[in-house]
Chains A and B, each alone.
Chain A
Amino acid sequence: MTNHWVDIKNADLVLIMGGNAAEAHPVGFKWVTEAKANRKARLIVVDPRFTRSAAVADYYAPIRAGTDIAFLGGVINYLLSRDKIHLDYVKAYTDFPFLVKDEFTFEDGLYSGYDAANRKYDRSTWGYQLGEDGFVKTAPSLQDPRCVYQLMKAHYARYTPEMVSRICGTPQEAFLKVCGMIAETSAPDRTMTVMYALGWTQHSYGSQMIRTAAMVQLLLGNIGVVGGGVNALRGHSNIQGLTDLGLMSDLLPGYMTMPRETELDYAGYVGKRTLKPLRPGQMSYWQNYPKFFVSTMKAWYGDAATADNDWAYDWLPKLDKVHDLLQMFEDMNNGQVNGYLCQGFNPLASAPCKVKVSGALAKLKYLVVIDALATETSEFWQNHGEFNDVDPAKIQTEVFRLPSTCFAEEDGSLVNSGRWMQWHWKAADPPGEAKTDQEILAGIFLKIRALYQKEGGAFPDPILNLTWKHKQPATPLPEELAREYSGRALKDVTDSKDPAKVLVKAGEQLNGFAELRDDGSTACGCWIFSGAWSEKGNLMARRDNSDPYGIGQTLNWAFSWPANRRILYNRASSDPAGKPWDASRKLIAWDAGAGKWAGADVPDIKADSPPEEGINPFIMNPEGVARFFAVDKMADGPFPEHYEPLESPLAANPLHPKNPLARANPAARVFKSDWPTFGKADKFPYVCTTYRLTEHFHFWTKHVRLDAITQPEQFVEIGEALAKEKGIRSGDHVRVRSNRGHIVAVAVVTRRLMTLKVEGKPVHTVGVPIHWGFKGIAKNGYLTNTLTPFVGDANTQTPEFKAFLVDVEKV
């Protein structure tokens, strides 16, 4: 989230799209009801299904699964063509006037630089025109045809209400009604918040869907302000913490990036990431990359990381490619993986295309499952009748199951969707032999280290030099780990302006990332978490909910990264002169008397820099402003473009009917061997989408009696028109088939799944909730990922669970 849960209560309009907050986030959803009850806020839901969120919405618009970019692109066109934008905001705080390279083109659905053979782009033309001074050239009049504003206007002019309706199936009047409501929030004293979740991420162009929403919000001036933002609702209580700590194959903690195999020297690696300002006087905060990086290496390798050995840079793996979930299982399926450590993860249930995942696991020599529950993955080799019809005699994988604790059986911190790091305390002892994840991993690490100590090995340094300063080596405590990621001074840290002034004494916890140094004098496991545990103690454990400004800015409740800041880009809540756009919802403003920025939040700007200095609010971008044109940061294009899902009922992209390369996302993650597994509309005519139910949490709560009571048995949802066509009544059993397998479940026939008219033809949607499997106390069922395709987003590689093709029949 750019903002946070409580802040939703300050919105005038709530758009839930690509998510179903009432269903999947019922507790956080209360802030929507607060906004409605206390601010007369309106709620819009745009979704393929009339959801529980839609049940309490003021307006619902149906949409075909996977066409959100077309819808939001249409909104952009509506706002631009009617000048319903917050012009002063956009002019000052975005790349509107920036000039783009002449070589950048977009023709017939493809951007310049497409390499069809490798399904990827050479992005060298996706950039700005730079002047001799190294800064981006601009056209403040916004009239230059190469400025971002003009390029964007031309790009989205194609997204007319008629085209939106043809692609999305949303009736034009419904689309225009939504546009009208959204457009009202372009006024400086009106804000819209956008709430989304996996309904946007789980597409082969999910990142671009989210970008399109961010572009809409920027046009409206709704970023960095109270009651605004683009707000990702996380699907697990600590999935935000997972990405923050860099638990992705290509990330290091705090969104630093892993070196690639071409980056063998430290100077090159760090130089490329130390971004110099692209406009005069901008902060370009990644200029501090070396401080973050060196401090991380000092946390990991302590005294062994020195300036002489480039802070142990050589000990980091150098990536050949991204080893995401899909890549792992592709490699496993190709027999290139021997062992798999599966911690708190149930890929047989959670990864796409069960038959491929199951086959891949069967090629392993060993599988270690660390989990609080007996997961399906840990029994992938066992025959469970129709639900897991495998032959155990043919599977030789040795499976180790290491029982771990669940969240209520351990202390620690969780990062919520709003970036709040909240400490929690153990409520009960774990049962039986269960151990915490830290104990289990410590056990494995200590054993491996002992083997390296004894036997040497090919490359022992990264293991033998790892710091392990835990008072009980086999039991690292959450408190110790928290202090490590928050960071401490190894030597006295002095003020860069006044070396005589000591900011933090050697050995003390740091107050925040501003104190990090690149000379080895600080250690910090995750720079964005810095300050969470300072000399003042564990700030994550704070529970003071006082709200002095009455807008839900409880700065003494827990700790919000970065720097306890609650709303990102909050400098943008004031105009360029430092005065709030909306005085009734002041966030921060320039206090000329005191000579600093102040207000209800921790300023997201250099605190003592007066507005005249012109530091713009988007300090992480070297430009200082927000980007409509993503330059070379996205794998599949600087402007989001609508493409069809890999499996779609349409034979062509209505925007590019003659270019088969532009039907689906040209840069989506697809492995060659998977092409034959995709189905076509002639055999699989219905759009299928998978989702969660409020009664259950993923594949866990089918093990819990109360949840099983409230939603006991697998079902699929079918609209009335399709049910009539197929002779299916509510309560009948139906078989849903994709080109990869089938499931059988009870039919729920409902008016909530509407038949949409797409390109003049009716399109039916089949809804499949995900929660069942062959373990647990709810009625056993099929793993729904039996149906889903092995396709990933071009940028995040997230699987396309939200739109694919099936057929349905009564059993």
Chain B
Amino acid sequence: MALQSLDIKARSATTTPSPQARGAIPVAKLIDISKCIGCKACQVACMEWNDLRDEIGTTTGIYDNPRDLSDQSWTVMRFSEVEVQPGRLEWLIRKDGCMHCADPGCLKACPAPGAIVQYSNGIVDFHEENCIGCGYCLTGCPFNIPRFSRKDRKAYKCTLCSDRVAVGLEPACVKTCPTGAIVFGSKEDMTLHAAGRIADLKERGFDQAALYDPQGVSGTHVMYVLQHGDQPELYANLPRDPHISPLVGLWKGIAKPLMSFGIGLAVFAGFFHFVTAGPKEVEEEEERS
């Protein structure tokens, strides 16, 4: 999604300094699970705004549909039936999708220059035209979000509607949410709003209600209000303490220089071949066809 008017703060596999002249307010989407009724309007709005159409699938014995994230479903609802207090059933419904980490593992892992960017407002975006389909972003993501397209072998995920946000609109899912379970604004305002929601939940007996803004990835620009903040795994295995995979560090520390060396070697070999064998000449026959 290269069309944008937001300043880029970080860019995968690039050393060019980022612009810094303009100020941008860090944004956040707050998903209040205690207000979510699982209507899937956000899924539909996401597909409509982003021109996506997933397959008409099957029912596999749960309400989740489509069953998982895909290149056509950048957000899905995950339904969990839990009993935290014995005898008190709860149906926790979590809207899953990219968390837009302040320290994005996908971007760190990505070897393709400019395929993953982080805007100065915090949104992490994939620029698929630069994606080489290596899949390292999948390894880098602590939330298991990016998905490959079988059509073009490129990775896709939620853009936080960076195209809408860039022109002052809220993301499509926020716009459509009927109960106000998804709200959008500055990260500061959203944190404040969450505090009010948490106070309300505590007053209703959810003593452990908390904001999910995990510090292992330096916080996220998509946050949750959880009734059971002490047990995020209740919510379809939301990670308790997400970190970027050590493999990404390994790649950064050893593999990446080695790989760069390898790429350099290939370029050098090609140049050597050109110098010694001359340019490749196209056969006349081939050119005519």
Contacts and interface: CB of A to CB of B under 8 A. Distances in A.
Interface string B53-66: 11111111111011
B48 A30 contact: no
Nearest to A732: B61
A27 interface: yes
Query: Which of B48, B63, B66, B92 has the most chain A CB atoms inside 10 A of its CB?
Result: B63
A694 B59 contact: no
Nearest to A51: B91
Interface stretch (B20-28, B36-44, B142-150, B154-162): B36-44
Interface in A408-445: none
A333 interface: no
A22 interface: yes
A730 interface: yes
Contact of B89 (A23, A715, A751): A751
A181 to B, nearest CB: 13
Contacts of A58: 204
B61 A53 contact: no
Contacts of A710: 40, 43-44, 65-66
A33 B92 CA distance: 16
A712 B34 CA distance: 26
A707 B43 CA distance: 10
A50 B91 contact: yes
B179 A33 contact: yes
A708 interface: yes
Interface in A683-721: 694-695, 705-715
Nearest to B204: A58
A120 interface: no
B167 to A, nearest CB: 23
Contact of A712 (B48, B65, B204): B65
Contacts of A579: none
Contact of A52 (B38, B53, B61, B83): B38
Interface string B77-98: 0000101000001111100000
A55 B88 CA distance: 11
Nearest to A28: B178
Interface in B116-169: none
Interface stretch (A158-166, A362-370, A563-571, A742-750): A742-750
A55 B38 contact: yes
Interface string A727-741: 001111000000000
Given A40-B203, A50-B89, A33 B65 contact: no
A528 interface: no
Q: Is the interface on chain B under 10, 10 to 19, 20 to 34, or 35 or more residues?
A: 35 or more
A29 B39 CA distance: 11
B35 A711 contact: no
B110 to A, nearest CB: 30
B179 A706 contact: no
B89 A60 contact: yes
Contacts of A56: 34-37, 179
A385 B169 CA distance: 49
Contacts of B44: 706-707, 710
Contact of B39 (A694, A709, A730, A746): A694
A9 B53 CA distance: 36
Given A55-B37, A695-B40, A750 B81 contact: yes
Contacts of A748: 59, 61-63
Contacts of B203: 40
A422 B34 CA distance: 32
Interface in A593-625: none
Query: Which of A695, A749, A779 has the most chain B CB atoms inside 10 A of its CB?
Result: A695
A54 B81 CA distance: 12
Contacts of B81: 750-752
A705 B43 CA distance: 13
Contact of A23 (B34, B37, B58): B37
A709 B37 contact: no
Contacts of A711: 40, 59, 63, 65
A777 B56 contact: yes
A50 B178 CA distance: 21
B47 interface: yes
Contacts of B34: 56
Contact of B47 (A27, A37, A694, A709): A709
Contacts of B54: 709
A730 B61 contact: yes
A29 B48 CA distance: 23
B200 interface: yes
Given A29-B37, A748-B61, A709 B53 contact: yes
B242 to A, nearest CB: 25
A482 interface: no
B180 interface: yes
Contact of B58 (A33, A751, A779): A779
Contacts of B200: 36-37, 40
B87 to A, nearest CB: 9
A26 interface: yes
A27 B177 CA distance: 8
A709 B41 CA distance: 12
A749 B61 contact: yes
A716 to B, nearest CB: 10
Interface in B248-267: none
A526 interface: no
Nearest to A731: B61
A708 B37 contact: no
A746 B93 contact: no
A558 interface: no
B160 to A, nearest CB: 21
A712 B37 contact: no
Nearest to B92: A55
B45 to A, nearest CB: 9
Nearest to B77: A710
Contacts of B43: 710
A52 B47 contact: no
B179 A26 contact: yes
B177 to A, nearest CB: 9
Given A52-B38, A706-B48, A730 B180 contact: no
A778 interface: yes
Interface string A17-41: 0000011001101100110110010
Contact of A55 (B48, B90, B180): B90
A747 B61 contact: yes
Nearest to A42: B204
A694 B91 contact: no
A55 B93 contact: yes
Nearest to A174: B87
B204 A55 contact: no
Nearest to A37: B200
A707 B222 CA distance: 26
A750 to B, nearest CB: 6
Given A40-B203, A705-B53, A713 B58 contact: yes
Nearest to B63: A748
Nearest to B197: A37
B91 A708 contact: no
29 contacts: A22-B37, A29-B37, A30-B179, A33-B35, A33-B181, A37-B197, A40-B203, A54-B91, A55-B36, A55-B93, A695-B39, A709-B54, A709-B56, A709-B65, A710-B66, A711-B65, A712-B65, A713-B58, A713-B59, A714-B59, A715-B59, A715-B61, A731-B60, A732-B61, A746-B61, A748-B59, A748-B62, A749-B61, A779-B56
Closest 6 CB pairs of A and B: A730-B61, A731-B61, A22-B37, A55-B91, A713-B59, A26-B39
Interface of B: 34-41, 43-44, 47-48, 53-63, 65-66, 81, 83, 89-93, 178-181, 197, 200, 203-204
Given A40-B203, A52-B37, A731-B59, 15 more contacts: A30-B179, A33-B181, A54-B91, A55-B90, A56-B179, A58-B204, A706-B53, A707-B44, A709-B53, A711-B59, A712-B57, A729-B61, A731-B61, A746-B60, A748-B62
